[in-house]
Amino acid sequence: MPQIRPYAPADRTAVADICVRTADAGADATGMFRDDLLWADVFVLPYVDRHPGLAFVVVSDDDRVVGYVVAAPDTEDFEEWFGAQWWPAVRDRYPLEGASDRERDIIRYAQKRAAGQQWHAREYPAHLHIDLLPELQGQGFGRRLIETLIAALERDGITGVHLEASSENAGAVAFYPRVGFDELPSGEGSRAFARRLRPTAQPRP
């Protein structure tokens, strides 16, 4: 039976691979970009590096990491750090010149990330990303990962969490309401969801 455990540094390559293999609206994005790592450098690796204590993985019976959830407890702080420190350290890998349209969209999104751009961060300060390989989907592990993360956020005094999913990802759009998230207004091409939390501790300074 697969098990959920805290993320460990040895899982870094595996979570990056899962990110790529689920990045195309839930489908495998391998080979879409000149460098597949772009997906992970935007959507998972900064999270496990910045907040490893809010990252959890599912491990299969044969000891493979097959899913994860990651989060930033303070979206404004995270986005400021991403724009000022994380992206400048990796951006030279991803020049706009020669990029496909989709690749260029992701690079420009990363370039523009900064504090003050997240619509829902004031009311729902944390945000998350979750991905499961197809072999694990539909077995309740998405729900279990979400509840594991929410328990950790509540222990840290966090009052709400939000996320955005591609409108094309029908599975994700159907999943979040089933695990207690409400849909919020969102931009074109995306669907936003949020859940209020019941913190059991004061927020960390």
167: burial class by Cβ within 10 Å (0-12, 13-18, 19+)?
middle
User: So what's the pLDDT on residue 205?
Assistant: 56
Amino acid present at 146: I
pLDDT tens for residues 158-189? 999 999 988 888 888 899 999 999 999 877 77
Domain 3-142 is found in CATH 3.40.630.30 = yes
pLDDT tens for residues 35-89? 999 999 999 999 999 999 999 999 999 999 999 999 999 999 999 999 999 999 9
Q: Residue 149: which pLDDT band, with cuts at 50, 70 and 90?
A: very high
Residues in Cβ contact with 110 at an 8 Å cutoff, skipping those fewer than 6 apart: 41, 42, 82, 87, 91, 94
Mean pLDDT of 106-133: 93
User: So what's the pLDDT on residue 1?
Assistant: 87
Q: Residue 108: which pLDDT band, with cuts at 50, 70 and 90?
A: very high
CB 203 within 8 A of CB 156: yes
Distance CA 13, CA 73 (A): 23
State if pTM tops 0.85: yes
User: So what's the pLDDT on residue 28?
Assistant: 96
User: So what's the pLDDT on residue 169?
Assistant: 85
Average pLDDT, the chain: 94
Which of 169, 160, 158 shows the shortest CA–CA distance to 131?
A: 169
Give backbone dihedrals phi and psi of 184, rounded to 5 degrees, phi first: -120, 165
User: So what's the pLDDT on residue 50?
Assistant: 98
